[in-house]
Structure formats: C-alpha cells, structure tokens
Amino acid sequence: MTDTLPRDTPAELVVIIGSGPAAWTAAIYAARANLRPLVFEGEPSREMIPGGQLMFTTEIENFPGFPDGVDGQALMATMRTQAERFGTRIVTENIVSVDFANRPFTLRPSYGAPVQAHAVIVATGARAIWLGLDNEERLAQHGGGVSACAVCDGALPVYRDKVVAVVGGGDSAMEEATYLTKFAREVVIIHRRDSFRASKVMADRALANPKIRVEWNSQVVDVLGEDFITGVRIADTVTGAERTLEVGGLFVAIGHAPNTGFLGGQLETSPSGYILTPTGWRTETSVEGVFAAGDVIDDYFRQAITSAGTGCMAALEAERWLAHHGIGESPVLDTAESSVGHPGSA
C-alpha cells in the first residue's frame, strides 16, 4: 500500500457500506462532523434487504427510548431519516468489490461508476443462516412467529406460555433454548443428529432444564401456518418418517454468515469470516483508514444497540483519522464534483 494520501482527487471523505443500526449511526455522526458521508445501503435480495435483519423483526422491546416497543422497519426508517437530515447521501446499490491496496480507496457499485474514498466504514452486518424453506422465509419476513434471534424476539407476548421450537445443536442453539424457557411453556430442540456439537457445559445445562426436550435425529422439512406458525413438519434422519409437531414459534439457530465476500480477502478476518479489529475497543481494521462496525465484527452479541454503539465508534475514529492526515480541512466538493454521478444517490 502506498503511504501517500492524495488531497487533490474528487474522492469522498468517508463512504459507509451497509444500512443497519451500525451504518446509520455512523452516518449520523459523520454527517454531523461535516464529512458528508455517502452510504451504499444495498439492494433487496432473497437473503437481505436494506435495513438489515431488523427489517424482519416486527416488534423490538429492548432498544432504549421506546418504552412501548418499536417495529423493526419503523426503527430503521427513523434512523435513515435522521442520517438524511444531516446531509447523508444514499445510494441503493451494493458495493460488489473494493480496492484497498491504493489510496484513495476504490469501491465498485453494482451499476454506477467506481467511487473513491479516503476512509471507508464497513457495516454490512451478518445474515442468519436459514433452513431454506419457502414458508419459513415468508413467515420470518412478515412477523409470523419465525425468528433467528431469541434474545431479540423471545420475550414478546406472542411466545409466552407457548410450545416453541429451536433448530440447531451448537452453543447458540443451547443458549437460545435456555433463554426461551423464561417465557415459553416448553422448548423443543430439533437436532438432526443423536448428539449435540455444543460444548459440554452448554449442552448439559440445556438437557438439565425441565422445560427443554429434544427431538433427536430430526430435521424440519416444512413450516406450517398461514399468518402465524402453527407447527413444523419434521423428518426422521434415520428412517425418513415424517410427522407434525405443533409449535407456536420457531427459532432457527444454525449460525450466521458475515457479509464480507465483496471484500475479496483484503481485510483480515476470523476463520468464520468476521472482520477483525486488531486493537481492542477500536474499529480500525487491518487496513489503515478502513473501519468496521456492527454485526460484521460481532459474532457474540449481535444486538441492535451494540451495533449502533460500534457505528458511533467507527465514525469518530474515521473523523479523527482524516483530521490526523489533514484530509477534509478544505471545503468539501460540491455535489456536482462528487465522485457519484449516477441515479440513486440522494
């Protein structure tokens, strides 16, 4: 990587990739610091839509400031509007590849011209790994009792005193099942093998809980229900026999996958693909001037509030990094001179 930091190119001061709580919080802070951030919020797809995983959450009760709860889509729309209020520009496209080997950095969108940036904040989040069933996806997207986060949704009144199912056999599944026993009448863990791959302490804790039972050697082959889940169809992985299990909620806990493929391996990541930030309590990545925030760096908490916090941190770090290198002290380019000149920017 070159050590020179050009100041005479029509590069953006900071580009934010993503549109979840981390991205919008970063945009709010960067915009209020007069960095005129440009946000690439992504495009709708089968797996993700702009706004991230909260767009599939109908009611959020644990985000501060909303004593009566808030709809996930409404929360994301409010954050987006707040970012726009301070001058954030938004492009509804994905970034499909990046060049972090030269400065200013180059980002290539889905359709528009390449964009150059002095600093970049990656806040692309992580997507839940689903079972891949049509009705599962439909009910998850419409608040029909299918979720990938028990901590986010399990306390909702709709699940209380119900029989709910958890799919998975790892530590996350054990944690989700144990958490749900606080609210559900019974929790059924559905696992495709005859033993868990979770750590012994987590598995033992779940198995010892009187409100948890296990359907061994079983996999979900269909999710039942029109407006709300009424049950699941499970198949025996040994005999192939199928039967219906009546449940009032389904929590899929088979893992998450960070949205980092577009980076092309240019940032240091964990074995599971999460971006690493070498210094504790910092968001700068292995490439100077590139910061990361939200679920794309977090395989542990995965909460909206923690994502928002790291978005704030990333924006503050980007601002200080730019100031340290004397970038952005002169007036920022006019919109007409911006490196973005294609439809979709706001």
Q: Which residues are catalytic?
A: 149, 152-153
Strands 218-224 and 231-236: antiparallel
Helix or strand or coil: residue 47?
coil
Please give the distance of CA 2 from its chain centroid, rounded to a whole number: 32
CA distances from 108 to 97, 98, 187 (A): 5, 6, 46
DSSP state of 284: B
**Using an 8 Å Cβ cutoff, are 171 and 195 in contact?**
no
**Using an 8 Å Cβ cutoff, are 187 and 176 in contact?**
no
Helix or strand or coil: residue 158?
helix
225 backbone dihedrals φ, ψ, rounded to 5°: 130, 150
Cβ-based burial of 108 (10 A; exposed 0-12, middle 13-18, buried ≥19): middle
DSSP state of 203: H
DSSP letters for 77-128:
HHHHHHHHHTT-EEE-S-EEEEE-SSSSEEEEESSS--EEEEEEEE---EEE
Distance separating alpha carbons of residues 138 and 183, to the nearest angstrom:
24
**Using an 8 Å Cβ cutoff, are 60 and 69 in contact?**
yes
Sign of CA dihedral 212, 213, 217, 220: negative
Residue 285's identity, in one-letter code, is: T
